Structure 1
Amino acid sequence: MPSLIHAAVLRQTGEPPRIEQIELADPGPEEILVEIEAAGVCHSDLHYLRGELRCPLPVVPGHEGAGRVRAVGERTSGAIRVGDRVALLWRPNCGRCRQCMVGAPILCEMGAVQAQSGGLLDGTTRMRDTDGPVHHLLGASSFAERVVVHERSVVPVPDDIPAEIAAIAGCAVITGVGVARNVIGRCLGEPVVVIGAGGVGLAAVMGAKLSGAHPLIAVDVDEDKLALARRLGATHTVLAGDGDPVDDVLALAPGGAAWVVEAVGRPQTLTTAVRMLRPLGTAVAVGLGAVGQTFDVPINELVQRQKKIVGSLYGSSVPALDLPAIFELYRAGLLPLDELIGTRYRLDGVNEAFAALAAGAVGRAVIVPGGVPA
């Protein structure tokens, strides 16, 4: 039978979401019901709130969550059982489309179905209010007490991994560490630059450190964020204030960087990333921008110095492989993910969390629907 839950509901872009009581249906045959224990506050959510990214409304935002399974559909595989702990994925994979079969499940065709329909993999929603359907954001909607998701939208979480770590691992960490693991790969002794020291950028710093990057340079406009980047492995930092950060980077990496990870999603920082590259270097665009935004690249510089620009969604990862590896590295102390956690908020503090994010708060804010632990 449908149940009532509290959730953050966004009804109009440009307005704050409100905590409302809505109806949540039982999970479908291939779906599961998850009680949310923690949900990270991502800048992509802020894009949706502002209308810079688009989704069907009304919608329950949040796409970075973890919790415990409370019910399963009758045709689930048996791999996920009641009582299991899981991390939510906002990019499930069907295992059958061309992208899945060539080893790029993050680009699965079903991801677009969820994003465009505001539903689950069948395109329909499990939430409603007295006026009609309430949509899912990317099939996750983690700013709620409970949520129904498709079985393919979760990865199991070991019991010794804290819920807030599992939550941020499912988006920020797998995106940043995934760039180092799946896109950059071997970079022992190679200069790597990360532009943007938010959750994704800091995860990229940690991943590049494990890969042996040197020098490892973090660039940001906030000194507190750069201080955290140094604690997490950056060998050098550049405060992108009044001067041109390219000059500072080239002073630290003469000739330019082999790799520049752009984790901001702004045209000017992408142009800057290309300028920081050495010949044959690669700029990796990770941050999402507003719909339709473009950036400028000098054609001759691209051709004559054979620079490359690539995009990476979700760390170009295979979550079923990458998330267990991330959890193991966290256990071993090689990924100090606790350092990424910022302020914890109750569900009714979601707008306070978004305001802090917009103001440049350090660390990844976490929503704890069951209350903030002491």
Structure 2
Amino acid sequence: MKAAVLEQFDAPLAIRDVDVAQPGANEVLVRTAAVGLCHSDLHMMQGLRDVPLPMVLGHEVAGVVEAVGSQVTGLKPGDHVVGCLSVFCGHCPVCVSGRQVLCANPEVKMAPGVAKRLSMGGKPVAQNYNLSGFAEKILVHPNALVKVRPEIPLDRAALLGCAVITGTGAVFRSARVEPGATVAVVGCGGVGLAAINGAAIAGAARIIAIDLLADKLTLAQTFGATDVIDASQVDPVSAVKALTGGGVEYAFECIGNKTATEQCWAMLTPGGTATVIGLFRPQVKVELPGTEFITEKRLQGSLMGSNRLTQDIPRLVELYLQGKLKLDELISQRIPLEAINEGFDAMKAGTVARSVVVFPGVGGL
């Protein structure tokens, strides 16, 4: 099969012929229909994580089941599925407590280089996030997949597996934004736009979008932002406080940036909650004034929207089919696998919300 392979850091991905194994007893082989380009992939390409090479990246993926192992009971060939990096075992103490997104059981969440699913010229190719979606096929544990209704196009469904479940889940599950609340979202990329959309669905009365790029702020209004702040022109903390008369109840950091996180904290009203969604470089530390903790402000993290995968993705599909969840608007461009490096160039330039690699002819695309 064709795959985009990371062979060295700070270099373009290489389109190679990669071999994929047949499914083991508890594995599923999926023909890829679409896969989104995520900033996490770019971080890997830039060497911000210590991972073995060569590796196939890509984790925001949807496709059609091609074959299943002998122990797989919930999926069958022909099913439309969404893949997600928050694969879970379902029986460890973390899973049974209801926080399956935090599952770290090596039975299913294998470290890069452990799974022997991909190879090239007889030599192993590492699987990224137990998915490796930048390829014509993926071989994964069934708990990394969720079956979806065929009514949702698979290029839109792919976005549910990362950007959308992360942004909406941070609103619905991590922060539990209630109707009438005031919300600020810092960073209006794919995850930030999904958080804005989620806040609108949750019934927030005021949703303030903050970014450095005017085009992204315009797009944020399409997703439900009631106000926009260009942080390249004004101090966002002062602007938020002026708009709200003192601060917001909920702030979401969607970049992975020290300054943005500290700004989210500073723009909270007493008793407010700042939720960090963005992925930081390993050495980054956040500094907050200790005296403000007495105001009962809270700072929390959110991993993949604190999702419960098998519940949340079907619910998001329904919201899309009802016209409430905006997926069509999130896709800036559809590109072939051979143009994947141009897609990452557009990401670096900040000119897209989401680029999606599509594989024509799979699942109706």
Q: TM-score higher than 0.5 here?
A: yes
CA distance in 2: counterparts of 1:203 and 1:36, whole angstroms: 23
User: Which of the residues 101, 113, 118 maps onto 2:112?
Assistant: 118
Post-superposition offset of 1:181: 1.1
Q: Helix, strand or coil: the match of 1:110?
A: coil
1:55-105 alpha-carbon deviations (Å, 9 max, x no partner): 22210000000000111111112x100111100111111111111011000
Match of 1:315 in 2: 305
Match of 2:348 in 1: 358
Match of 1:284 in 2: 275
The equivalences for 1:102-141 within 5 A come to 102-110=97-105, 114=109, 117-118=111-112, 123-130=114-121, 132-141=123-132
Post-superposition offset of 1:292: 2.7
Whether the 8 Å contact between 1:19 and 1:348 is mirrored in structure 2 is yes
Runs of 4+ displaced beyond 6 Å? 371-374
Report whether the alignment pairs 1:100 with 2:95.
Answer: yes
CA distance in 2: counterparts of 1:267 and 1:109, whole angstroms: 27
Match of 2:329 in 1: 339
Match of 2:42 in 1: 46
Report whether the alignment pairs 1:348 with 2:343.
Answer: no
Post-superposition offset of 1:187: 2.2
Structure 1: state its 5+ residue gaps. none
The equivalences for 1:1-374 within 5 A come to 5-77=1-73, 79-110=74-105, 114=109, 117-118=111-112, 123-130=114-121, 132-301=123-292, 303-370=293-360
Post-superposition offset of 1:289: 1.3
Whether the 8 Å contact between 2:108 and 2:141 is mirrored in structure 1 is no
CA distance in 2: counterparts of 1:274 and 1:256, whole angstroms: 10
Q: 1:112 to 1:361 in 2, by over 3 A?
A: farther
CA distance in 1: counterparts of 2:352 and 2:129, whole angstroms: 25
1:161-182 alpha-carbon deviations (Å, 9 max, x no partner): 0111110011111111111111
Q: Helix, strand or coil: the match of 2:191?
A: helix
CA distance in 1: counterparts of 2:19 and 2:243, whole angstroms: 56
CA distance in 2: counterparts of 1:29 and 1:241, whole angstroms: 54
Q: 1:83 to 1:112 in 2, by over 3 A?
A: closer
- The residue type paired with residue 54 of structure 2 is P
Q: Helix, strand or coil: the match of 1:273?
A: helix
Q: Helix, strand or coil: the match of 2:250?
A: strand
CA distance in 1: counterparts of 2:92 and 2:302, whole angstroms: 19
Q: 1:368 to 1:321 in 2, by over 3 A?
A: same
**RMSD over equivalenced CA pairs, Å:** 1.7
| TM-score computed with the length of structure 2 as normaliser | 0.96
- The residue type paired with residue 279 of structure 1 is P
Post-superposition offset of 1:113: 6.5
- The residue type paired with residue 223 of structure 2 is L
1:137-172 alpha-carbon deviations (Å, 9 max, x no partner): 101111101111111110001111011111001111
Post-superposition offset of 1:313: 0.4
Post-superposition offset of 1:253: 1.2
1:253-293 alpha-carbon deviations (Å, 9 max, x no partner): 11111010100111111011111111111100001011232
Q: Helix, strand or coil: the match of 1:114?
A: coil
Whether the 8 Å contact between 1:69 and 1:84 is mirrored in structure 2 is yes
Whether the 8 Å contact between 2:5 and 2:15 is mirrored in structure 1 is yes
The count of aligned residue pairs is: 364
- Aligned-pair identity in percent equals 41
Whether the 8 Å contact between 1:92 and 1:110 is mirrored in structure 2 is no
- The residue type paired with residue 88 of structure 1 is G
